[in-house]
Structure 1
Amino acid sequence: MLSHERKREVLRHLRSHGIGQVNELAEAIGVSASTIRRDLKEMDSQGLLTRVHGGASLIENDLEVAHMARQSEHSAQKRRIGEAATSLVKDNSTILITGGTTTEAMLPFLHGRDGLTVLTNGLNVAVQLSRQANITVVVLGGILRHAEMSLLGPLAEHAMEEFRVDTAFTGTYGLDASVGLTGASVHEASTDRKLLEGVGSLVVLADSTKFTQRGPVRLASVEQIDVVITDSGAPSSAVHELRAGGVDVRLV
C-alpha cells in the first residue's frame, strides 16, 4: 500500500473511532506497527492529526484537514492535469465537473470563459466557482457525504435528467485500461454512474497513481471514455491499451 493510501486509511479510521492505537491501526490497515508509527509522525508534522500516547487522535476541523491532505497529494501533477483539461472547455457550453480534488484543480483556469454553465455535485467546486460571477453554477441536490464534500443520492440523479451536458469532467478512484473507471464505495456507485451517463463527452482527470489501484465497483467502461488526461508517470502499457481502445490519452 502506498504512503498516501495508508494516510487516507488512517484518517478514515480516526473519523470512525475518534482515536486509534498503533497496533489497532496496523492491524486494520494491514501494515507493520513501525510503518504506522512513521506515518503518524509524518502526519502529525503535517497537521493532519494529533499524536497521543500509543497512537493518534483527530484534531479540530478534521474534515477541512482531510480535504487539504488530498489536495496536497500529487498537487503539481493535478495542477498540470487541471490546466490541460480546461483546453477542452468551450465558451457557451454546459459542462459537468464532479466533486474531487483533481477536478478542483481545473477551476482557477476557467476564469474569463463566456456563457459557461457548470453543473456539479461537489460543494468544493461550487464554492470555488462562486468567485467567478461570469459562470452560471448549478448545484445538484442530494445527501452530503461530509468527508468528500459531495452530494449523492436520488436528488442528484434525478436533477441530472433535466440537463444536456456537452462535456463531463471527472476524477476517479481507479483507472484500469481494460475495466474502465472504478470506485471505492458501493454506496456511491449509483450516483457516480448516473452523473456520467448520456454526456456528450467524458473526460477523465487522473494522476498516474490511479492506474495502480482498482475499486470494487465499475463506474464507466472504457468505451464511455473519450479523453484521459494524466501525468507522464502513467504506465506505458496502460496508455497504449487505452489508445488502442479509442481513448485520447494526453500526458502532461
Structure 2
Amino acid sequence: MHRTARQNAILEALDGSGSATVAELTRTLGVSDETIRRDIKAMAGKGLVERVHGGVILPDIRREPAFQKRMSQNAAAKQAIARRVAALVENGDSLMLDTGSTTAYVARALADHRDLFVVTNSVEIARTLANGKKGNRVYLAGGELRGDDGATFGPNALEFVKRFRARFAIISVGALHPDEGVMDFHLQEAEFCQTVIACAARVVAVADVSKFRNQAPVKVCDIGRLDLLVTDRPPPEAFAERLREQEVELLIAG
C-alpha cells in the first residue's frame, strides 16, 4: 500500500473513535510497526494527528461536536440560511445534499416544496423530504452508516451518487479559508462532498459565520469551484475579495 493510501486509511480509522494504537493500525493495514510509526510522525508534522504513547489521536481541530449539539449551535443563523436556500429551489428541482446540520435545516425549509428529486447520504435529510403527499422522490446512498448523525459513507455511497445528475449540490462545510478553500473535518465527508460537486450543475455552499473562524484539515475544493455561498453575515474582507476574484456569488441571509 502506498504511503498516501496508508495515511488516508489511518485518518479513516481515526474518524470513528478519534484514537488508535500502533498495534491496531498495524493489524488493520497489514504493515510493520515501524512503517506505521513513520506514517504517524509524518502526519503529526502536518498537523493531521497527534502522537501519544503507543498510538495516535485526532487533534482538537479535527474534532466536531455531536450532531444534535451542532443542530443547536447557531441555530437561528442556520435556519435563516436554510430559508434563503429554499427560496432558490423550485418545485420539481433536482438536488443533492450532504450530511450536516445546516443542510438538515435546508431540508426542513423545503417542507412546502413539491416533486423534488433528492439524493443524499443523510438519513435525517432523507426522512425529512420523503413525503409521499408532496410527490418527492428521495434516494439515500448506501454504505457504512455512522451512528452519530445517521450518515452513510464509503465506496458504495460514492458509486451510487455518481449515477445521478442534479441541478443543485447543496453542501455543508467545516471551515472556509480564502487561500485553502472549502475544508472539512473528515476525509470521508470531503470525498462524498467532492462527488456530489462533480454531479451537479450548480454548487451551493451553506455556512454560518463561525465557519470563517474554524480550522479543518481536509480540503474539499477551491473557492472557485463554488457557484454560490449562502451565509448569515458578511465574511471577512479577505474572503469577500477572493469570492469576487473567483466570481462566486455571495448571498447574506437576513
TM-score (norm 2): 0.70
- Report matched runs for 1:42-57 at 5 Å: none
Residue in structure 1 matched with residue 10 of structure 2 by the alignment = none
Residue identity (%): 24
Residue in structure 2 matched with residue 79 of structure 1 by the alignment = 79
Residue in structure 2 matched with residue 143 of structure 1 by the alignment = 144
CA distance in 2, matches of 1:239, 1:132: 41
Residue in structure 1 matched with residue 246 of structure 2 by the alignment = 245
CA distance in 2, matches of 1:160, 1:29: 31
Note the C-alpha offset of 1:131. 4.4
Residue in structure 2 matched with residue 185 of structure 1 by the alignment = 186
CA distance in 2, matches of 1:113, 1:184: 31
CA distance in 1, matches of 2:142, 2:113: 25
CA distance in 2, matches of 1:233, 1:132: 38
Preserved CA contact (<8 Å) 1:228 1:249: yes
SS of aligned partner of 1:95: strand
Preserved CA contact (<8 Å) 1:207 1:234: no
Note the C-alpha offset of 1:175. 1.2
Residue in structure 1 matched with residue 37 of structure 2 by the alignment = none
Instruction: Call closer, same or farther: CA 1:158–1:146 in 2, change over 3 Å.
Output: same
RMSD (CA atoms)? 2.7
CA distance in 1, matches of 2:197, 2:84: 20
CA distance in 2, matches of 1:229, 1:126: 22
Note the C-alpha offset of 1:81. 0.3
Unaligned stretches of 5+ in structure 2?
1-13, 20-57
Listed one character per residue, the Cα deviations across residues 87-119 of structure 1 (whole Å, up to 9, x for unaligned) are 221222210011111011112321332321111
SS of aligned partner of 1:106: helix
Note the C-alpha offset of 1:142. 1.1
Residue in structure 1 matched with residue 43 of structure 2 by the alignment = none
- Greater relative CO (CA pairs within 8 A, separation 6+): 2
Residue in structure 2 matched with residue 216 of structure 1 by the alignment = 217
Instruction: Call closer, same or farther: CA 1:16–1:222 in 2, change over 3 Å.
Output: closer
* Structure 2 residue 95 is matched with structure 1 residue 113: no
Matched AA of 1:73? Q
Instruction: Call closer, same or farther: CA 1:232–1:152 in 2, change over 3 Å.
Output: same
Preserved CA contact (<8 Å) 1:196 1:220: no
CA distance in 1, matches of 2:238, 2:94: 34
CA distance in 2, matches of 1:233, 1:164: 31
SS of aligned partner of 1:133: helix
Preserved CA contact (<8 Å) 2:154 2:188: no
Note the C-alpha offset of 1:148. 3.0
Matched AA of 1:84? R
Matched AA of 1:76? A
SS of aligned partner of 2:66: helix
Unaligned stretches of 5+ in structure 1?
1-11, 18-27, 31-64
Note the C-alpha offset of 1:234. 2.8
CA distance in 2, matches of 1:70, 1:91: 29
Listed one character per residue, the Cα deviations across residues 73-96 of structure 1 (whole Å, up to 9, x for unaligned) are 000100000000112212222100
Listed one character per residue, the Cα deviations across residues 180-237 of structure 1 (whole Å, up to 9, x for unaligned) are 2111123443333222213100000000111112322211212210000011153233
Preserved CA contact (<8 Å) 2:173 2:207: yes
Note the C-alpha offset of 1:171. 0.7
* Structure 2 residue 146 is matched with structure 1 residue 165: no
Preserved CA contact (<8 Å) 1:209 1:234: no
SS of aligned partner of 1:88: coil
SS of aligned partner of 2:115: coil
Aligned residues: 198
* Structure 2 residue 104 is matched with structure 1 residue 99: no
TM-score (norm 1): 0.71
